[in-house]
Structure 1
């Protein structure tokens, strides 16, 4: 019996572009065409200038952990627990909520450098997640 798949996110008019970028192994950030403000999650109107015009830029995928939590329950099929959920301050100047992978919960901490990697599920669904950045 195969493992159940991850719960898929809703994809609609306002966020389909983001998932298309993820499918191409890219981390997208929505940018207001009026005032150039970056925003995530994607939404139809800029919270700063109220413009409904926007484009998207590719993020570097580098940032630091602003906050985190470790989820142990409830446990949904298709996920490996514990889940380390992080709030990332991207170097472009906006924040993104994601998952920290490839480390134990006790290794997570505020201010640690992280970098985006693409996690691909067995069904081909791609999701940007983060790992601790390599020390240089």
Structure 2
């Protein structure tokens, strides 16, 4: 008998967020930017939360940000994460303004200070999904 680990949940890719996931697969971090008022936001939405325009585009951002907060999960709420417990989830404030929830690579969050500089790295899950994650800025 072959024990296959349970699958992790995957994002539901649709017309609203497809640009984000396509860019991530190509190694570029993006946020949604309103074509009318210029407001940048994440996650994507069908209308701009600032002016309600439906004219929006996915715009590249620097991939730099700062650690705002973090939590360590000691329980696997999805079976696919059981082997990784405990695991860390972080809140990143991007230089461009929007916040993003992700994972931290290359350090334990408690070794960092809130406000510490982070940079995006991309982790390919498979040929169709790449996840943006973050590490301390300047880490190789």
The two structures have a TM-score, normalised by structure 2, of: 0.85
Change (3 A) 1:120 1:5: farther
Aligned-residue Cα RMSD (Å) equals: 1.8
* Aligned 8 A contact 1:75 1:81 in 2: no
Cα pair 1:64 1:89 within 8 Å, conserved: yes
SS of 2:103's equivalent in the other structure is: strand
Which one of 58, 61, 64 corresponds to residue 59 of structure 1? 61
**Separation in 2 of the partners of 1:72 and 1:108?**
20
Residue from 74, 80, 88 that aligns with 1:84: 88
Contact 2:25 2:124 (C-alpha < 8 Å) held by counterparts = no
Q: CA deviation at 1:105?
A: 4.0
Which residue of structure 2 lines up, in the alignment, with residue 128 of structure 1? 132
Question: Unpaired runs of 5+ in structure 2?
Answer: none
Q: Which one of 29, 32, 36 corresponds to residue 30 of structure 1?
A: 32
Give the Å deviation of 1:2.
4.7
Flag the 1:50–1:75 CA change in 2: closer, same or farther, 3 A. Answer: closer
Contact 2:74 2:86 survives alignment (8 Å): yes
Unaligned runs of 5+ in 1: none
Structure with the larger helix share:
2
Q: Distance in 1 between matches of 2:10 and 2:112?
A: 26
Contact in 2 for aligned 1:84/1:101 (Cα 8 Å): no
Q: How far 1:36 moved relative to its partner?
A: 0.1
Residues matched between the structures, number = 134
| 2:117 matches 1:113 | yes
Paired with 2:35 and 2:9, the residues of 1 have a C-alpha distance of 32
